[in-house]
Structure 1
Amino acid sequence: MLDNTLRSLGAAISELATRGGPSTVSLFLIDNGDMHERIVPPDAARVPPFVPELIQGQGNVGYGRGHNLAIERTTSRYHLILNPDIELDDDALSRALQFLDANEDIGLLTPYIRDEHGQQQFLCRRYPTVIDLFARGFLPASLRKLLTDRLNRYELRDAIDDTSVFWAPPIISGCFMLFRTDVLKKLGGFDPRYFIYFEDYDLSLRTHEIARVAYVPSVRVLHHGGDAARKGFAHIRMFMASAWKFFNRFGWKWL
């Protein structure tokens, strides 16, 4: 899957170069694996257009802290936070940078995200309530149907479509976050207090304080991941721990 991510990223960079953009990029691969086991970068990371840097040896420091190791090093104009389960359309980066260049007040861009079946994933969010998170993550499908209208509103289905730019979605997914690097550095990257989950909620809300955020559906990617509740008890426990930190920081909203 990581190879597929890197190949699609390489194709998107090559397309960007044909339109006057950079022909190479700095690629940071963050290995949060065992401190004593070193991985070799996948083949797709060792060929143009990449200039790869493998960050490893720190052990599993968590999602946000891992990304922060790259954010501290970068000197770019733009910085893309990308999960290893994303595949970019060939024109995704050229369309994204075209939009950012035309709107200099935008600090963070999120794309149209689809699943393996071509269906839109509604990963932009309104501010969550405890009921929303519990229903979406842990209720069986038969019971979730009773809260369809509520969950659709939480997922911004009433406001977001596949054609129109949507300004200022409150929260966006960390699987693809394209930042102006100066904005990201001003924010200090991710809050390291979250080991995993809700660090993207936190960063999204803080971004609104200093820059505009936009959902741009002409930028398109495929996402294979998600669904923490089906990853086992350890992920459920980490999800709940991060939710506790998030609500304590930004305010509890139950209903």
Structure 2
Amino acid sequence: MITSSIVIYSTKKDIEKEEELAKVVKCTSSSIIEKIYIVDNSPTTALKEFVESLSCKIIYIFNNANLGYGTAHNIAIRKSLEEGFKYHIVLNPDIYFEDRVIEILKVYMDQNQSVGAIMPQVKYPDGETQYLCKLLPSPWDLFGRRFIPFKGIVEKRNHRYELRESGYNQILNVPCLSGCFMFLRIQILENTGLFDENFFMYCEDFDFYRRIHKKYKTIFYPEVTIIHAHKKESYKNNALLRMHIKSAIHYFNKWGWFFDRDRKLINKTVLDKIHSLK
């Protein structure tokens, strides 16, 4: 019924990463998920024995190359499609959650056939909310808030872009959610396509959700919560920052930079809905 995939990458022994992976696999194994694809983009199979020891549900896939985030997840998603599973969950290796989360989300998906994807409430380990519900981004949203030095202006824009006015306490149909936890209805992917493999890392989830949202609902469901130990590594690593910028450029080349009619209409619909609920 349900499969999941986690993409990993490591060039050396990394106890912290292994502990994170063990935690998410433990959560996933104790749930109703039937198969857990661990897709390894690392340069060697050094992690294979450790990964396979974590759960009998694991199917280890070694790529012998760093294919990128979306391309690696596509390998697992295609397997789920071929085997006729109903749902697939894309997971980051740095999250964890209670057993009931998957079951509750499945019930919601079963009862709402118009929903193509769903994401729960996401919090930091200290309990702080992660603002992962977003409007479709403009160039200002992806570039301006990183490089404009005026904190007040950036914060005001982020408040709108991250839909903070919603209070993050109600079910919403949001066009742009996070790739850290993507509960997907498998059959819809035949109509929307999988991850765009031209993205190596970053922004592939924006693009993926946008294509799903055009045809199905993409739901934020705050009645269950997961924990995401998000480190915002591209804010600290220049190589990752360059990768992030490259992906953002590809996103806007694909969808439009300043003239994007769909973005304007979709964002207005979301904001109007939030205002109507106040």
Q: Is the 8 A contact 2:89 2:182 kept in 1?
A: yes
The structural deviation recorded for 1:211 is 1.4
Q: Which residue type is aligned with residue 65 of structure 1?
A: T
SS of equivalent to 1:116: coil
User: How many residue pairs align between the two structures?
Assistant: 237
Q: State the Cα distance separating 1:124 from its structure 2 match.
A: 1.4
* Residue of 185, 199, 203 corresponding to 2:208: 203
Counterpart pick for 1:157 among 153, 164, 173? 164
Q: How does 1:225-240 map to 2 (within 5 A)?
A: 225-240=230-245
Supply the distance in 1 between the matched residues of 2:258 and 2:162 (Cα, whole angstroms): 16
Match of 1:58 in 2: 64
Cα–Cα, structure 1 residues 125 and 226, in superposed 2: closer, same or farther, change >3 Å? farther
CA displacement at 1:36 relative to structure 2: 6.3
What's the offset of the Cα at 1:39? Answer: 2.5
d(CA) in 1 for partners of 2:40, 2:215 = 31
Equivalent position of 2:94 in the other structure: 85
Q: 2:48 aligns with which of 30, 39, 56?
A: 39
Equivalent residue, structure 1, for 2:191: 186
Does residue 106 in structure 1 map to residue 112 in structure 2?
no
Q: Deviations over 1:140-182 (max 9, x none)?
A: 6xx32332221111001112423x1112x11010000000111
**Structure 2 residue aligned with 1:16:** none
The structure whose RCO (Cα within 8 Å, separation 6+) is larger is 1
Cα distance, 1:251 vs structure 2:
0.9
Match 1:123 to one of 107, 110, 132: 132
Give the TM-score normalised by the residue count of structure 1.
0.86
- Residue 147 of structure 1, aligned match among 134, 146, 154: 154
Q: Deviations over 1:94-137 (max 9, x none)?
A: 11011111111111001100001101101111021222223433
Decide whether the 8 Å contact of 2:179 with 2:205 is kept in 1: yes
Identify, as 1 or 2, the structure richer in helix.
2
Between the aligned partners of 1:212 and 1:113, the Cα distance in structure 2 is: 19
Q: Which residue of 1 aligns with 2:77?
A: 71
Contact 1:110 1:172 in 2 (8 A): yes
Q: Which residue of 2 aligns with 1:4?
A: 23
Contiguous gaps of at least 5 residues in structure 1:
14-21
Corresponding letter in the other structure for 1:232: N
Backbone CA RMSD of aligned residues: 2.0
User: Displacement, 1:41?
Assistant: 4.0
TM superposition shift of 1:38: 5.8
- State the Cα deviation string for residues 64-84 of structure 1 (Å, max 9, x = none): 000011011113110000000
Work out the percentage of aligned pairs sharing the same amino acid: 30
How far off its partner does 1:184 sit? 2.5
Q: Which residue of 2 aligns with 1:17?
A: none
Cα distance in 2, alignment partners of residues 44 and 221 from structure 1: 24
The answer to whether the 8 A contact 1:125-1:171 is kept is yes
Local SS of the residue matching 1:177: strand
Secondary structure of the equivalent of 1:234? helix
Note if contact 2:177-2:205 (Cα within 8 Å) is conserved in structure 1: yes
Is the 2:52–2:60 contact (alpha carbons within 8 Å) kept by the matching residues of 1?
no
Match of 1:214, SS state, is strand
Tell me how far 1:8 sits from its aligned partner: 1.8
